[in-house]
Amino acid sequence: MPTITTNDLKNGMTLELEDGLFQVVDFQHVKPGKGHAFVRTSLRNVRAGGTVERTFRAGEKVERATIDKRNFNFLYRDGDDYVFMDNETYDQINVAPETLGDAGNYVVDGSSVVLEMFGSEIVGTDLPAAVELNIEFTEPGLQGDRSSGGTKPATLETGLVIQVPLFIDQGERVRIDTRSGEYLSRA
């Protein structure tokens, strides 16, 4: 692992500390009038997802984790697991739903996903900002409700339930924001 100093920290950088694997969310160099300079950081635990505040001495050495981003194609579901194929080596891997987290709500057969790997462990996913999915089920909209701006629940092909405008019908294709899980537009 490459060793860096806390003066070289940047947002998004991943560190391997004694507590685990952490990604830098925010940092601030502080030079008080008296005493030594220090770096105040906000770190997100990559495995557990929680955020912690931590202070380092200026110039303190920390281990930078090497995160490998690799392109995978989603092939199919095997029981509860998701089966992905590496685009370079054509190796197949099984991924538990807990590992994917919310990203499992947006992957369908044949979709491309960038998996962030630390050694052979998957520590994150990198999805596009929006995906297109089919509406599997939704109640029909009522005549006259077209202009009111109301919403209704709709079940997507992945099983995710979202709110869509009343004019959206079953079988249509819609764009979904993967960061918030909200309806964006018709596809």
Q: Which of 126, 157, 176 is the last residue of a domain?
A: 126
Structure tokens at 91: 């190796």
Structure tokens at 84: 């992905």
Structure tokens at 104: 């499992």
Range of the domain at 147: 130-186
Looking at the structure of the chain, the number of domains it has is 3
Q: pLDDT tens-digit profile of 104-127?
A: 899 988 888 999 999 888 888 888
C-alpha span between 186 and 168 (Å, rounded): 8
Q: Which of 14, 46, 64 is the last residue of a domain?
A: 64
Q: Which of 126, 154, 171 is the last residue of a domain?
A: 126
Contact 159, 133 (CB under 8 A): no
Let me know whether 161 and 111 are in one domain: no
Helical segments of the chain, H only:
97-100
C-alpha span between 9 and 42 (Å, rounded): 11
Contact 183, 132 (CB under 8 A): no
Contact 176, 133 (CB under 8 A): yes
Output the tens digit of pLDDT for each of the chain's 187 residues: 689 998 899 998 999 999 889 999 999 999 998 889 999 999 999 888 889 999 999 999 999 999 999 999 999 999 889 999 999 999 999 999 888 888 889 998 888 899 999 988 888 888 888 999 999 999 887 665 555 567 889 999 999 999 998 888 889 999 999 888 899 988 8
